[in-house]
Amino acid sequence: SKTAYIRTKPHLNIGTMGHVDHGKTTLTAAITKVLSERGTGSSTQYVSFDRIDRAPEEAQRGITINIAHVEYETDTRHYAHVDMPGHADYIKNMVTGAAQLDGAILVVSALDGIMPQTAEHVLLARQVGVDHIVVALNKADAGDEELTDLVELEVRELLSAHGYGGDSVPVVRVSGLKALEGDPRWAAAIEALLDAVDTYVPMPERYVDAPFLLSVENVLTITGRGTVVTGAVERGQVRIGDRVEVLGAETETVVTGLETFGKPMESAQAGDNVALLLRGVPRDAVRRGHVVAEPGSVSPSRRFTAQVYVLSTKEGGRSTPIATGYRPQFYLRTADVVGDVDLGDAAVARPGDTVTMTVELGRDMPLETGLGFAIREGGRTVGAGTVTEVR
Ligand code: GDP
Ligand code: MG
């Protein structure tokens, strides 16, 4: 039988961000390799580049979810790490909260410097409340030292411009590729990067005493056992045998199995990435975006007021203003729902503006003050906001 997950260290969720081809996936594989080779006491399993890059795609309700989770352990912490292949995957998974990042590793190629997606991911991280970023200045094996110094300055400036305190952010020069090839110098650089993550990214506050809530990221069927939903526990705790409510499916059931990274566990808590086996729930009844919660703990609604930042054209947003009557998609937690925008007295909102709007969603959702969301239209993000009042 499978070994149970034993919680011996605090658990954090992190991930790589950055422009395509700057080496996010290579670095992710290198981290698992270096940690797996630490010798006795290391519980980390090496995950190869191919296994990360070819994470299965799950298409549900027209959204392709493409997200690879790997896990590893340093001396002091257990990490779940997400890596995503394309820019659109970052938008979907970060903004919707599927990738609940407590901190991020921004990967910047020392050869190329800041590229458009580097800047967009920093902006995105700020919008979704990622408060701590560590920089991996990658491809340092191939870079010229003076040029790398310039890239470092440029990255620090970018971070400062987004409120990340660029002067104090750790910037570590690494080579994911050389570390993956077993070069000891570059393996040491990966260790230095992990030390920076361990020390610079604080343990976030976990609302373990709040009622349980998990937004469904994925739904799978285990033949003979039933329907499994996966996602990150947003708050509270859940144990095998607990009654839960599935909002969206409007059904109540019992959790009959609980796993994290394929290991069975007795109880899960806020911050954990888990799979829940739900008794007697047909697979078709549950979808990405539904919410599993302690029965009666949330009352869904569809109207809210929000503070919204309309992305500028330069940030990939619209080139024309929005007005009352606008009907884009709202990405809340792992759900995407159409919504009607009412701008009230402010007749229009231009790209680059921050505005207050009232939104009427196409269906009821568990909403609460402080909940972040993205506004998307025709496959791109045009706004990012926070719920200020549920109506
Ligand atoms: P991603 O799109 O950010 O995930 O980038 P990948 O990890 O797929 O890497 C893109 C390309 O850069 C591949 O050809 C890698 O072999 C190469 N690469 C990644 N890391 C390094 C590095 O540290 N040094 C060098 N020289 N090349 C690298
Ligand atoms: Mg990649």
Q: Residue 132: which region, alpha, beta or left (left: phi > 0; alpha: psi -120 to 50)?
A: beta
| Per-residue pLDDT, 205 | 85
| Per-residue pLDDT, 241 | 96
Pairing relationship of beta strands 226-235 and 348-349 according to DSSP bridges? unpaired
Residue tagged 């298409």 (tokens): 59
| Per-residue pLDDT, 320 | 96
Residue among 16, 22, 24, 26 whose CB has most ligand 1 atoms within 8 A, to mutate: 26
Give the distance from CA 305 to its chain's centroid: 24
Is 21 one of the catalytic residues? yes
Q: Which residues are annotated as a binding site?
A: 18-25, 83-87, 138-141
- Token pair of 33, please? 């390799």
Is 87 one of the catalytic residues? yes
- Token pair of 145, please? 């030292």
Ligand 2 centre distance from Cα of residue 20 (Å): 7
User: How many residues are present in the chain?
Assistant: 391
Considering only CA atoms, give the Rg of the chain. Answer: 21
Ligand 2 centre distance from Cα of residue 176 (Å): 12
CA distance 93 to 91: 6
Which residues face 107 on adjacent strands? Answer: 136
| Host H or E run for residue 163 | none
Which residues face 274 on adjacent strands? Answer: 231
Ligand 1 centre distance from Cα of residue 391 (Å): 48
Q: State whether the beta carbon of 21 lies less than 6 angstroms from ligand 1.
A: yes
CA-CA distances (angstroms) from residue 390 to 305, 319, 345, 368, 375?
A: 6, 30, 19, 6, 17
Tens digits of pLDDT across the chain (391 residues): 567 887 788 999 999 999 999 999 999 999 999 999 987 667 899 999 988 876 555 444 334 456 778 999 999 999 999 998 777 677 667 765 656 789 999 999 999 999 988 998 898 888 778 899 999 999 999 989 999 999 999 999 999 999 999 999 999 999 999 999 999 999 999 999 999 999 999 998 888 999 999 999 889 887 777 899 999 899 999 999 999 999 999 999 999 999 988 889 999 999 898 999 999 999 899 999 999 999 999 999 999 999 888 888 877 789 999 999 999 999 888 898 999 999 998 779 999 888 899 999 999 999 998 888 889 898 788 888 888 899 9
**What does the longest C-alpha to C-alpha distance in the chain come to?**
65
Neighbouring CB atoms inside 10 A of 297's CB total: 16
Instruction: Find out whether 359 and 327 touch, Cβ atoms under 8 Å.
Output: no
Neighbouring CB atoms inside 10 A of 223's CB total: 5
Q: State whether the beta carbon of 180 lies less than 6 angstroms from ligand 1.
A: no
| Per-residue pLDDT, 381 | 80
Is 11 one of the catalytic residues? no
Q: Exactly one of 11, 16, 24, 118 is catalytic; name it.
A: 24
CA distance 292 to 90: 24
CA distance 368 to 375: 17
User: What phi and psi, each to the nearest 5 degrees, are found at residue 309?
Assistant: -100, 120
* Closest ligand by atom to 108 CA: 1
| Per-residue pLDDT, 61 | 37
- Token pair of 13, please? 């969720």
- From the list 252, 251, 247, the residue with the least C-alpha distance to 234 is 247
CA distance 15 to 250: 33
| Per-residue pLDDT, 63 | 41
Q: State whether the beta carbon of 25 lies less than 6 angstroms from ligand 1.
A: yes
Please tell me the residue having the least CA distance from ligand 1 atom 11.
21
Q: State whether the beta carbon of 68 lies less than 6 angstroms from ligand 1.
A: no
Q: State whether the beta carbon of 96 lies less than 6 angstroms from ligand 1.
A: no
User: What phi and psi, each to the nearest 5 degrees, are found at residue 76?
Assistant: -110, -15
* Direct distance between the N- and C-terminal alpha carbons of the chain, in angstroms, rounded to an integer: 49
pTM here is: 0.78
CA distance 310 to 164: 21
Please tell me the residue having the least CA distance from ligand 1 atom 2.
21
Q: Exactly one of 11, 69, 87, 121 is catalytic; name it.
A: 87
Is 272 one of the catalytic residues? no
Q: State whether the beta carbon of 118 lies less than 6 angstroms from ligand 1.
A: no
Q: State whether the beta carbon of 148 lies less than 6 angstroms from ligand 1.
A: no
Give the distance from CA 192 to its chain's centroid: 24
Taking a 5 Å cut-off on Cβ, the residues next to ion ligand 2 are 24-25, 85
| Per-residue pLDDT, 59 | 44
CA distance 12 to 28: 15
